[in-house]
Amino acid sequence: MPNIHPKTTPIYQTSVFTFDDLNALELYFEEPGQNYMYTRYGNPNTDELAEEINKLEGGVGGVVTSSGMSAILAAVLAVCKAGDHVLCAEEIYGGSAALLSQELTRIGIEVSYVPSADTYTLEQYTKPNTRLMLAETMSNPLLQVLDIARLALETKKLSIKLVIDNTFATPVLTKPLELGADMVMHSVTKYLSGHSDVTAGVVVCQQQEDLQRVQAVMRTYGLNLSPFEGWLAARGLKTLRLRMKQHCSNALAVAQFLEQHPKVEQVWYPGLEGHPQHGLAKEQGHGMFGGMLSFRIADDTESVNRFMQGLASIPFAPSLAGVSTSISYPLGTSHRSLSPEQQQKLGITTGVIRLSVGIEEPEELIEELEQALAKV
C-alpha cells in the first residue's frame, strides 16, 4: 500500500478498531491514548476536535460529547454525586435549568439558583455539600456579562468548582480558564462548528483530575460524539476566528440600528455603551462583543408574528450561531420550561426576540430588519 499523507484527517467511520494479538490489547491498556479500541472510548476524529478546542481554551485537555446538553451533564456528574448541591446562575439557558431542576434532582443532586444581584456573594447560598457553580460568560437570552475572574475568586474561597458555559463568547473573545474557571463547556453545535449542521458539545478542564472524571462519565454514560460529526466540527472550527470577527462586527451594526428604531423598545447587546456591563465586556472580550443580541418590540404576540412574517430571508429557527442570521423566540423555545413568574422575573416577555447575527453583509441585514419592523 502506498505511503499516504493526507492534509486533512480522514473520517474514521468505524465503531471498533482491531488488534493483532493479546500483546497489542495489553499495550492499549498500559499506554492509554496510543491506540484505539472502541469509538465510544475514543476516535481520531473526536480526539482531533477535542485537542483543537483545548488549544483554543488553554486547558489540560478536552472531552467532546454528543451535544451541549451532554457536555453540561458530563461536567456536573464529573464533580457531583447523589447528596451533593449545585449552584446555578438564575439567568441561564432554559435547557440547562431543565437538566438541573427536572433531571439531576431526580438522582439526588440538589440545585439552588443564584439571583444576578448576588452572583459574587455566594456564601448565603452555599451548604457544606455544595460542589459546583454553573454560569454563562454571556447569559442567554438577555446578554448579561459575567465577571469570570471575580466569580472565580469567590468560588475558590468557598472551595466550589466553577463551570462556565462559554458558548456565546467562544475562546476568540474570552478564555474562562485563564480567568480562574475550573471547567469550560460549549455547545459545539453553535459557533465552534458554526454551520448549523452538527450537534456536539465539549468540556475543557483546568485540572487533570477533572479531565479524567469527565472522560469516565462520557465513556460510561455513552455521551460520545460520532466520528463524522467530529470531522465536520473540526472542519468548521478552522474558520472560527474569521467568522467571529464578522459576527461581532455585524452584531454591533445591527444593535446600533435597532437601538434607534422607534418600534424597538429595548436592545440587549454588550457592545452598546448603555449596556450595564459594557466596560467589562470590552475588557473580557478583547474589544469584541459577540454575535448574539436580543431586542423587545411591543409585548403582543400578533406584533411578533407580523415581524417574523415580514422577514424575507431571515428564518425563525430555535438555535443560534450559524453563518446565516436567524431569529429565535425565548418565551416559546429556549425558556419555555420556566414558569411564567420566572420568565417575568428575568424580563423574558412576549415581545423579546433573540437575534443570532450571521456573517452576511450588514447593510442587507439592516434593510431586511427595517422592512420587517415596518409590518409591526
Could you list the active site residues? Answer: 40, 93, 165, 190
Instruction: Determine the Cα–Cα distance for residues 257 and 290; give it in Å rounded to an integer.
Output: 16
Torsion angles phi and psi, residue 340, rounded to 5: -55, -35
Please name which of 208, 209, 191 lies closest in space to residue 200, comparing C-alpha atoms.
191
Burial readout 121-158 (b: 16 or more C-beta within 10 A, e: otherwise):
ebeebbeeebbbbbbbbbbbbbbbbbbbeebbebbeee
Place of cell 423555545: 333
| Dist. CA 199–CA 230, nearest whole Å | 9
Query: What is the helix, strand, coil percentage profile of the chain, to 5?
Result: 40, 15, 45
Write down how long the chain is.
376
- Report yes or no: 181 and 152 within 8 Å, Cβ to Cβ: yes
Residue 323: exposure state from Cβ atoms within 10 A (0-12, 13-18, ≥19): middle
Closest of 155, 86, 84 to residue 121, by C-alpha: 155
| CA atoms of 238 and 233, how far apart (whole Å) | 9
What is the Rg, in whole angstroms, of the alpha carbon atoms belonging to the chain?
21
- Inter-CA distances, 212 with 80, 180, 207, 304, 333, Å: 14, 19, 9, 47, 34
